[in-house]
């Protein structure tokens, strides 16, 4: 079954109408995508499903205990979550996207229902503490900031800090382990803050029923889209989130990472050729495409070689960039930024 989602904002009166009237628009929308576990009939398969649901519930509980006063929590899942503790209701909005929904679909379904000016993504297993979002939100007073990367701290081993993904190595999982407030940062789905207008302009995250990508590739592609459009991101050490190391670092590697990197490389390389008329836009695209051409392991190199012949992402990324440029051009703060540049 094909599902069609978009990132257009639903009118407030359709989403928050009640007997008491229209609720105030939340300042922060927290999105939690919950992918289904593989359907394995073994006891291990059942345990994996339980662990995933348990991780989701620990994340939701930490949010409800610590969330800001103006906040909404949206959990989008692929039909496998039964909500045994009746979390869905006034404080948490559950969206059943449908069986087999990929990560991009889950995120974009949540985004289409979000009303906060700032969107915050958390993955199941992330745990927050009181005031975790305050320092990150302050950065958005600057209209030129479109994303903020939190400080991620491992919760299941010796503590390690992750401040931002390294833009020079995307989509490889290379992290910066130090950073100061306001320094350049690349947000990840594990604790990223995003200006909703920028996300909507970019049509959310890459991923449709017909074209799914791994989490690592979805993160990298959005970061590359933002960079190509000149949208700025910073890191904020005082916004701390704890999570297991495997959740923070991701799991894609070897051949799969190389293949996705190759697909992204060929898409951005074609866009670079098409953007020669715009020096600033072409230079940003050139920097991004160049950073993809350095696979490390033999398996990754093989994946990259084969992925670079796969043009399946070219049309989607071209459309996303073109639409984002058109949408941003209509925003007053974007016009101011372009004039200042």
Write the pLDDT tens digit of every residue in 286-302: 555 555 556 667 888 88
Write the pLDDT tens digit of every residue in 203-262: 999 987 777 788 888 998 999 899 888 899 999 999 999 999 999 988 777 888 888 888
Q: Which residues pair with 162 in a beta bridge?
A: 152
Q: Which residues pair with 2 in a beta bridge?
A: none
* Residue 280 maps to a domain: yes
Tokens of 211: 């074209």
* Residue 212 maps to a domain: no
* Residue 193 maps to a domain: no
Domain span at 297 = 253-332
Q: What does pTM read for this prediction?
A: 0.84
Write the pLDDT tens digit of every residue in 328-341: 988 776 555 554 44
pLDDT at 111: 97
* Residue 36 maps to a domain: no
* Residue 145 maps to a domain: no
Query: From the CB of residue 159, how many other CB atoms can be counted at a distance below 10 Å?
Result: 8
pLDDT band for position 6 (cuts 50, 70, 90) = very low
pLDDT band for position 119 (cuts 50, 70, 90) = very high
* Residue 311 maps to a domain: yes
Give the chain's domain count: 1
Listing DSSP states for 19-85 in one string gives TT-PPPPPSEEEEEEEPPPP---SHHHHHHHHHHHHHHHHHHHHHHHH--SSEEEEEEE-S----TT
Listing DSSP states for 308-321 in one string gives TT--TTHHHHHHHH
Write the pLDDT tens digit of every residue in 139-189: 999 999 999 999 999 998 777 899 998 877 776 667 888 888 989 999 999
φ/ψ (deg, to 5) at 71 = -160, 145
Q: Which helix or strand (DSSP H or E) is residue 152 part of?
A: strand 145-154
* Residue 60 maps to a domain: no
* Residue 206 maps to a domain: no
């Amino acid at each position: 079954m094909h599902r069609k989602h978009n990132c257009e904002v639903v009118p407030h009166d359709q989403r928050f109408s009640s007997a008491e009237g229209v609720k105030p628009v939340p300042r922060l929308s927290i999105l939690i995508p919950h992918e289904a576990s593989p359907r394995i009939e073994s006891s291990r398969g059942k345990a994996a499903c339980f662990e995933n649901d348990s991780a989701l519930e620990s994340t939701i509980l930490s949010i409800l205990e610590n969330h800001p006063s103006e906040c909404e929590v949206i959990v989008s899942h692929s039909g496998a979550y039964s909500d045994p503790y009746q979390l869905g209701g006034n404080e948490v909005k559950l969206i059943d996207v449908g069986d087999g929904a990929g990560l991009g679909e889950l995120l974009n379904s949540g985004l289409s229902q979000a009303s906060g000016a700032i969107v915050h993504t958390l993955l199941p297993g992330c745990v927050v503490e009181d005031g975790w979002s305050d320092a990150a939100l302050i950065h958005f007073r600057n209209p030129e900031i479109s994303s903020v990367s939190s400080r991620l701290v491992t919760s299941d081993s010796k503590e390690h800090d992750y401040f931002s993904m390294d833009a020079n190595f995307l989509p490889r999982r290379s992290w910066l382990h130090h950073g100061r407030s306001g320094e350049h940062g690349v947000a990840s789905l594990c604790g990223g803050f995003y200006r909703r207008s920028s996300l909507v302009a970019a049509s959310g995250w890459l991923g449709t029923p017909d074209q799914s990508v791994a989490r690592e590739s979805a993160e990298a592609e959005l970061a590359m889209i933002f960079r190509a459009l000149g949208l700025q991101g910073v890191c904020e050490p005082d916004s701390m989130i704890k999570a297991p190391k495997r959740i923070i670092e991701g799991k894609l590697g070897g051949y799969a990472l190389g293949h996705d990197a190759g697909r992204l490389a060929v898409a951005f390389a074609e866009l670079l050729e098409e953007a020669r008329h715009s020096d600033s836009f072409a230079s940003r695209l050139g920097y991004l495409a160049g950073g993809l051409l350095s696979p490390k392991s033999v398996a990754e190199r093989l994946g990259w070689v084969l992925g670079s012949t796969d043009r399946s992402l070219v049309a989607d990324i071209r459309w996303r960039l073109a639409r984002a440029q058109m949408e941003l051009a209509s925003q007053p703060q974007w016009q101011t930024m372009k004039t200042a540049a």
